[in-house]
Structure 1
Amino acid sequence: MTDAVGVGTVKCLVWDLDNTLWQGTLLEDGEVLLPRRIRDTIVALDERGILQSVASKNDPEHAWSRLVALGVAEYFVLPRIGWQPKSASVREIADELGFAHHTIAFVDDQPAERAEVAYHLPDVRCYPAEMLPDLLTLPEFTPDTVTEDSRQRRRMYQAGVRRVAARDEFAGPDEDFLRSLRMRMEIRVASEADLARVAELTQRTSQMNATGVHYSGADLRERLADPDQEVLVTTMADRFGPHGAVGVVLLGRHPGLWHLRLLATSCRVTSFGAGSVILGWLIDQAARAGTHLVADFRRTDRNRVMEIAYRFSGFAEDVCPCETALADAPDVERLHLVPDRRPEPSTMLLSAPELCVHDSA
């Protein structure tokens, strides 16, 4: 029987500990060892954006303290160490991460443990510990692209856990908690290294995509090479850590007119009003340049919130001679704005928290 099943990239690898991650059995040997090749595998998976967790039958405090002593505890999210069935541990990890079972992998030296997980969770991919030396060469552990956000995925997840825990402990109103996050936004011209993540944003974002149009890396690369077009990427961070790339702007420049072809933001930052802040920054930049703004909007069944953001920012269906510079687009609404200066970035608010916007272009 082949243990490993399924296709596609693994999102999370769940490790057994005894005689799998480390050499030896903790409760019998006391002093277990972490082979260098296992450490290298852990680090490499982390850099590829694959989350890692633990499902181990062990004393929780003893096992976790050993992971800390070995210098690898920080790499594991949602560890389940105790005496429940491994299938229950793997199920809890998948459910809390919100990952489909076919994106979860489990590695264990014991055939009986792998069989127990496979029986209860048939979509989870199970691997014997003997396969660990070859794990990094397997296609399911080799993403097609590794973006900066991929490399930060585990840190972003851990920051999110700390953020939620802090909110649960915070006694004041939401507005005060958001201010306490000290959120910062950076808007800059996308680099070649950003293109995969920017393309992903346009493809995965539906509620916060002003046109519903998706762009490939090749499309974006073509726009980067055009001196009359700009691809801008937005990143966010707060006191707990990075949110990663959360927004993209595609902008065409014409004499007296900036054409906002696309604004898309991650749904993860919708509650922070990131789209409105990006629009505010863009309007201020256009006002400084003395140019009008025209934004494309294509109505879909999910992006009503983007229309509201445009309307609240002052965009309207005014007809202006400046629009003659643009090619006809029958399926697109053109929203026009004569911009005025907006508050300085240091006083700009994002759903209450102060936001510092840095233009690195």
Structure 2
Amino acid sequence: MNLHGNHTGDNVQQTVEEVKVKCVVWDLDHTLWEGILLEDKQVGLREGVLEVIKRLDERGILLSIASRNDASQAMLKLKELGIHSYFLYPQISWEPKSESVKRIAALININPNTIAFIDDQPFERDEVRYSLPEVRCIAAEDISSILDRPDMNPRFITEDSRMRRSLYKNDIERKEDEERFSGTIEEFLATLDLDFSLYPASEGDLQRAEELTVRTHQLNATGYTYSYQELDEFRQSDRHRLWVAELEDKYGTYGKIGLALVECSEDIWTLKLLLMSCRVMSRGVGSVMLNFVMREARKAGCKLRAEFVENPWNRMMYVTYKFAGFQEIGENGNTVLLEHDLSAIQPFPDYIKMKTSKE
């Protein structure tokens, strides 16, 4: 059994070819539709585009827009065409498209290396490529082959994949309400009616569990990825604990948003993996998951250790461990080993209702 999954020594970053696309950003004129909107109000969708949009959406790949255009006219046309609801955070202005792509990445909270940008103009693609070399730039003439690209074909299409656009739309509503809220973050969280479930993974959870390890980079303590088969072995192993986390609030479900994998010996538990979706970064979920594992280890009469492998995006996870009281006890290559004596465990936040079973 490979405890580190697809961990590759000192290099835990996936190559561009291996990293799946999370968001496709579209230009409008001569790309999403035929013609130039400011010259012809009757422009129609490019042949085959609607099928591509629908298929990408079904696969859980998000869609957005970066267009140098008149925003009000462009949005009216998208609504007229019946496709405006597919696009998150459309950026329609006269600024450089690289700035629009950067803003989309920030608003969705994804790494630019998971974005593909489609435009008919070589100049525009080069401008984005120069400022954001990690973004995949695709010519509009190649739209017909997009659905066959390996980086746009997830291994599994899960329930969370199919719901991804609606999950993000719920997040937009949450963020808007949070910005209008005048109290503290804890007071706002108390208004959300948060229900947090953390339970042993079942076979039906494994596709989403694999997807989480592949898609999650910022809030992944080790960056390890695991296949369905490896996760199934852990699930059935007496020497491991594999937990899945779900979150709901008054706006709806966040879906399955977290994963914890522990290797158990007679007197030591070691957290091999602690991760959660970036969409729940501000909900304190990481600390709650860690708190739960700490309690389980103490009940088992074991010490609790945790592995941390730093990458360019996951420093927040190290902060989570340190804030919870973990101390460094050693290093093995690029892996930092931490330990908690479990003498003092923080209580669960009052604003979260905990459930530790799937029912």
Equivalent of residue 89 in structure 1, options 89, 100, 103: 100
Task: State yes or no: 1:178 paired with 2:192.
Answer: no
Q: In percent, how many aligned pairs have the same letter?
A: 32
Q: Return the TM-score normalized by structure 1.
A: 0.68
Task: State yes or no: 1:357 paired with 2:352.
Answer: no
Task: State yes or no: 1:127 paired with 2:138.
Answer: yes
For residues 214 and 198 of structure 1, what CA distance do their matches in structure 2 show?
Answer: 11
Is residue 269–residue 297 contact of structure 2 (8 Å, CA) maintained in 1? no
Equivalent of residue 231 in structure 1, options 218, 242, 245: 242
For residues 299 and 284 of structure 1, what CA distance do their matches in structure 2 show?
Answer: 18
Equivalent of residue 114 in structure 1, options 117, 122, 133: 122
- Aligned twin of 1:55: 66
The one-character-per-residue Cα deviations of 1:315-341 (angstroms, maximum 9, x if unpaired) are xxxxxxxxxxxxxxxx7858568x9xx
Q: Following TM superposition, by how much is the alpha carbon of 1:202 offset from its aligned partner in structure 2, in angstroms? A: 8.8
- Aligned twin of 1:294: 302
Q: Following TM superposition, by how much is the alpha carbon of 1:140 offset from its aligned partner in structure 2, in angstroms? A: 3.4
Is residue 196–residue 352 contact of structure 2 (8 Å, CA) maintained in 1? no
Q: Following TM superposition, by how much is the alpha carbon of 1:50 offset from its aligned partner in structure 2, in angstroms? A: 2.8
My pick for the range that moved more, 271-280 or 218-227, is 271-280
Gaps in structure 1 of 5+ consecutive residues: 1-5, 312-330, 343-347
Task: State yes or no: 1:160 paired with 2:175.
Answer: no
Choose 1 or 2 for highest CA Rg: 1
For residues 300 and 111 of structure 2, what CA distance do their matches in structure 1 show?
Answer: 46
Is residue 14–residue 54 contact of structure 1 (8 Å, CA) maintained in 2? yes
- Aligned twin of 1:194: 208
Gaps in structure 2 of 5+ consecutive residues: 1-15, 327-336
For residues 308 and 44 of structure 1, what CA distance do their matches in structure 2 show?
Answer: 42
Is residue 28–residue 67 contact of structure 2 (8 Å, CA) maintained in 1? yes
* AA matched with 2:192: L
My pick for the range that moved more, 270-279 or 229-238, is 270-279
Is residue 156–residue 207 contact of structure 2 (8 Å, CA) maintained in 1? no
Is residue 229–residue 252 contact of structure 1 (8 Å, CA) maintained in 2? yes
For residues 24 and 199 of structure 1, what CA distance do their matches in structure 2 show?
Answer: 41
Task: State yes or no: 1:264 paired with 2:278.
Answer: no
3-state secondary structure, aligned to 1:33: coil
- Output the aligned Cα RMSD: 4.2
Shift in alpha-carbon separation, 1:58–1:247, aligned structure 2, 3 A: closer
Shift in alpha-carbon separation, 1:106–1:179, aligned structure 2, 3 A: same
Task: State yes or no: 1:21 paired with 2:13.
Answer: no
Is residue 202–residue 214 contact of structure 1 (8 Å, CA) maintained in 2? no
3-state secondary structure, aligned to 1:216: coil
Q: Following TM superposition, by how much is the alpha carbon of 1:15 offset from its aligned partner in structure 2, in angstroms? A: 1.3
Q: Following TM superposition, by how much is the alpha carbon of 1:65 offset from its aligned partner in structure 2, in angstroms? A: 2.3
Q: Return the TM-score normalized by structure 2.
A: 0.68
For residues 151 and 202 of structure 1, what CA distance do their matches in structure 2 show?
Answer: 17
Is residue 197–residue 247 contact of structure 2 (8 Å, CA) maintained in 1? yes
